[in-house]
């Protein structure tokens, strides 16, 4: 897979993940062009689209379009299932996911995507395992934020304040 885009029916980009190195300008151009093309398609049309030398696989869930770009020799149906599994994962994590969830918790959406897809290939297809990993990451984040404050107070070397101050 070369990239994945999520955008709303109004054409607002909600999530993007690129698995090929492209310049920001190029990314913007592609996004604009694709959003236009996909939104112009009618609901009954097929989910595949030949675009440039790539194949676009897209699917609409409620108000969101999930759109993946794959190479010519890739399997379109399995890509459709990748999208579906991702939606299932989001749904399970957020509990009947809606567009707002993704807008406000975009980093979670990214985390889930990263647990599921790696370098554009499905690496973990089990729903259970992905969600377990995310929960652990959540836990880790909570603990480390707590620790972080303690640490700031306790540390005696002034320099540490400076170092960590940068990351605040």
* φ/ψ (deg, to 5) at 107: -65, -35
Binder among 47, 66, 70, 97 for another protein (CB under 8 A): 47
Distance of closest approach, residue 93 Cβ to another protein, in angstroms: 16
Distance of closest approach, residue 106 Cβ to another protein, in angstroms: 9
Q: Which is nearer to another protein, 100 or 162 (CB)?
A: 162
* φ/ψ (deg, to 5) at 18: -115, 130
Per-residue contact string for residues 89-128; x = within reach of another protein by CB under 8 A: ------------------x------x---xxxxxxxxx-x
166 in contact with another protein (CB under 8 A):
yes
Looking up tokens 């960590």, which residue turns up? 164
Q: Which is nearer to another protein, 62 or 140 (CB)?
A: 140
DSSP 3-state of 39: helix
76 in contact with another protein (CB under 8 A):
yes
With CB under 8 A as the rule, give the number of residues binding another protein: 64
Q: Cα(70)–Cα(65) distance, rounded to whole angstroms?
A: 16
């Amino acid at each position: 897979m070369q990239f994945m885009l999520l955008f709303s029916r109004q054409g607002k980009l909600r999530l993007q993940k690129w698995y090929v190195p492209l310049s920001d300008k190029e990314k913007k151009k592609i996004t604009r062009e694709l959003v236009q093309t996909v939104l112009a398609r009618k609901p009954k049309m097929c989910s595949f689209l030949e675009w440039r030398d790539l194949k676009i696989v897209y699917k609409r869930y409620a108000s969101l379009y999930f759109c993946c770009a794959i190479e010519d020799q890739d399997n379109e149906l399995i890509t459709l299932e990748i999208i579906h599994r991702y939606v299932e994962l989001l749904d399970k994590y957020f509990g009947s996911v809606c567009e707002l969830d993704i807008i406000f918790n975009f980093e979670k959406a990214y985390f889930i995507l990263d647990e599921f897809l790696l370098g554009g290939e499905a690496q973990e297809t089990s729903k259970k395992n992905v969600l377990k990993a995310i929960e652990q990451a959540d836990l880790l984040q909570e603990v480390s934020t707590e620790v972080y404050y303690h640490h700031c107070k306790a540390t005696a070397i002034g320099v540490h304040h400076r170092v960590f101050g940068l990351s605040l």
